[in-house]
Chains A and B, each alone.
Chain A
C-alpha cells in the first residue's frame, strides 16, 4: 500500500513536473514580452496629453502617421541608412570572411582583432566617432590642418553627416557579418571544392559556382538579422548627431523616442513603433520567402 502511494505520487509528479519547470519561463515571457506588446498596442489607440490618456482614438494615430512629414522623412532616412549600411557590411564581411578562411601565421589574432568593434559599447563608439568628426577639434580636422588643409566638416553637412553615420555603423557591425559568414564558410563541405580544383577551376569560378551559391542561405540570414537590428539603431545617432543637421540623420527610432518621451505623445509614438515593427516583420518574412525560393531553385 505504502509502495503504491509512492508510485502514484511519482506518476503525478511526472505529469506535473514539465509544466512546473516551464511555468517560470512562461511567466517571464508573458510578463516581459507579451504584456508590453499588448500594452503598446492598446496605447497606440489612445490620445495622451501631459502623460495621461485623454481619449480613445481607434486607428487615428496609425492614419495620422502617413500624413506626418516628419515621420515619412524619418522612415525614408532609416530605409536609406539600413540599405546602405547592410549592403556595405555584407560585402565587406564576406570579403573578410573569405580572407580569414585561409590558415596562416597570425590568423587567429587577426580574427580576434576583427571582431573587437562589435564588442565595444555603441555609445562609446559614437563618442569616439564624434571626436574624429568634430570640425573644431576632431582628428580629421587635425590631420587635414597638419597636411595644410582646412577644417573638415562632417557633422554640419546633411550628406556628409549621413555618410558619417553609415561609416560608423559599417565599422561597428561588419564584424558581426564577418563572424556569421566565416562560420558558414567553415561549415561548407570540402569535397566539391577539391573536385573543382582537380577540374582546373580558378578562384573566381570556384567562388561564383560553388562558394556563393552554397553560402546564400547563410548570407540571407545574416542580412535579415542585421537589417532587423539596423532598423532599431538608436544609441550611435543619439550621441553622434541627435538626428541632425536638420533632419538628415533622424531615424525613426530617434523620432519615436522624442515623440514618446520629449513631446509626451505616447499613443502616437506607440503607433509609430507598432508600424515599424510590422515593416520589419514584413521584411523578415520576405527574406525568408526569398530564401526558400532560392533553396528550391
Chain B
C-alpha cells in the first residue's frame, strides 16, 4: 500500500512538476521580457551599413529628427552582410526594419523582388526639380533609362527608393606633392607622385582597394570610366573587355600597383584610408567616408595637406556614383512614420542642414548654401557636373561584380594580364547571365 501510493505519487509529481515548471518558466519569461519604453516619438528603425559617409547624419541629423518628434533607432552592420540580411528581412516579411539605407546597386534586386513600398504613391515627389537627376533616377525600378532585364521591359518605373546621402567618388590628393592643384590626368598622378616619393614626402603615389569582389571593382571602375569604357551594351552583353577597358585594366594592375603599397592586393577601405590619412600615399580616389576626416587632426597625420578634386582623366573625368539610398520594406512595422521621416529628411531645409553638417546632400539647392560643412561638397557638385555614372541597373550586379572582382584580383596579384582578366570575366558574366535568362 505504502509502496503503491508512493509510486502513483511520483508519477503525478513528475507531471505536476513538469506542468508547474512550464508555467513558471512562461511566467518568468513574460516578466523578464523587456517592456517597450513609453513612446518617445514616432518610431523609425533605420538599418545602415557602417560607413564614414553617414557620420554627419548620425551626429547632426538624428538629434534634429528627435526634436522633430521622431524616435530614431539606428542599427548598423558591416557592409559585407547587410545586403543578404536586409533582403532576407524584406523577403520573409520579418519586419525588423522601417528603413534600409541601401547601397544603390542593390535597388534593382529589391525592386525585382517587389519587397519595397511605392514611395511615389506614398507622396514623395520624384519629379521635384531640386533632386540631383542622376541620383533620383537610381530610386526607380525598373529604371527610367537604359536597358531593362527580362520580365520588366514594359513595367512602369516606380519610385521605390529615395537618395539619402549623395556619395560619389572624388580625388583626394596631397597638396604638398601636387603643388599646382589636382592632377588632371593619370599620367600626372603617377609622375608627380614619384617626385613626391623621391622628395621623401610620401611613400607611394597612389593607394586603392585590391580585395576581390566589390572593393577591387569599385577602385578600378573610375579608371575604367576615365579610359572611356562601357560595361554592358543595350542587350546586356558584357563589353567591358573592349580595347578601352583592357587598357584601363592593364594600367590598373600594372602601373597603379607598381606605385601603390606592396600589400595592396589585400587592401580594403580601412587600409587605403590609413595610407592616405597616415600621410603615406599621394592620391586616392574614394567615397566621402575617409575624405570627411581629411581636416580632423585627430584622424589624420596630414591635416591641412589634403585637398579634393575631380577624378583624373584619360579621355574623360568620370567617377562612379555610390549613393546611400533609402527604401521602406513592405513589412516595415512603422511604415507611416518612415514615410513622414523621409519627407522631412529630403525637404530643402533638412538637406541644407545635412550639407552644413558636412555630408553630400541629394538636393541641388543644398549644395549652394553659404557654409557647407565640408570642403568636399562643392567638389562633389563639380564631379557630378563633370560626369558621374551609377553601376549597371541589374538585380544580378552582386554576381557580376564577384566574377569580375576575382579575375581582376588575380591579375593584380600577378601585376599584369589585366586585359586577359577582363576577357575571362566577360565570358563568365555572359555565361552566368545566359543561365539566368538574360538573352
Contacts and interface: CB of A to CB of B under 8 A. Distances in A.
A242 B80 contact: yes
Interface in B87-115: 87-88, 91, 109, 112-115
Interface stretch (B190-198, B258-266, B307-315, B364-372): B258-266
Interface stretch (B244-252, B286-294, B341-349, B406-414): B406-414
A244 B212 contact: yes
A285 to B, nearest CB: 34
B87 A6 contact: no
Contact of B88 (A52, A135, A246, A261): A261
Contacts of B210: 156
A244 B299 CA distance: 29
A50 B109 contact: yes
Contact of B8 (A10, A151, A243, A263): A10
Contacts of B8: 6, 10
A243 B398 contact: no
A201 B8 CA distance: 62
B399 interface: yes
Given A135-B262, A137-B274, A156-B266, A244 B211 contact: yes
A17 B410 CA distance: 64
Given A136-B275, A264-B109, A50 B212 contact: no
A13 interface: yes
B84 interface: yes
A50 B262 contact: no
A134 B275 CA distance: 13
Interface string A136-161: 11000000000000110101111000
A49 interface: yes
A264 B432 CA distance: 13
B265 A50 contact: no
Contacts of A217: none
User: Chain A contact residues (Cβ within 8 angstroms of B): what range?
Assistant: 20 to 34
Contacts of B61: none
Interface in B178-230: 210-213
Interface string B8-48: 10010010000000000000000000000000000000000
B155 interface: no
B113 A245 contact: no
Interface in A4-29: 6, 10, 13-14, 17
The B contact surface, by secondary structure, is: helix
Contact of B266 (A13, A134, A258, A262): A134
A136 B212 contact: no
B410 A246 contact: yes
B295 interface: no
Contacts of A258: 402
B11 A13 contact: yes
B212 A243 contact: yes
Contacts of B263: 134-136, 151, 153, 155-156
B340 interface: no
A258 B80 CA distance: 10
B51 interface: no
B395 interface: yes
Contacts of A17: 11, 14
Contact of B112 (A6, A50, A151): A50
B271 interface: yes
A236 to B, nearest CB: 15
A124 B210 CA distance: 24
Interface of B: 7-8, 11, 14, 80, 83-84, 87-88, 91, 109, 112-115, 210-213, 261-267, 271, 274-275, 395-396, 398-399, 402, 406, 409-410, 413, 436-437
> What are the 9 closest A-B residue pairs judged by CB atoms, nearest first?
A135-B263, A261-B84, A156-B265, A244-B212, A155-B266, A50-B113, A156-B266, A50-B112, A246-B410
Given A50-B113, A247-B406, A263-B398, 20 more contacts: A10-B8, A10-B11, A49-B437, A50-B109, A51-B113, A136-B267, A150-B262, A151-B262, A153-B262, A156-B265, A157-B265, A243-B212, A245-B211, A245-B413, A246-B406, A246-B410, A247-B212, A262-B399, A262-B402, A263-B402
19 contacts: A6-B8, A17-B14, A50-B109, A50-B112, A50-B113, A50-B395, A52-B113, A135-B262, A136-B274, A153-B263, A153-B266, A156-B263, A157-B413, A158-B413, A243-B212, A245-B410, A261-B84, A263-B398, A263-B399
Interface of A: 6, 10, 13-14, 17, 49-52, 134-137, 150-151, 153, 155-158, 242-247, 258, 261-264
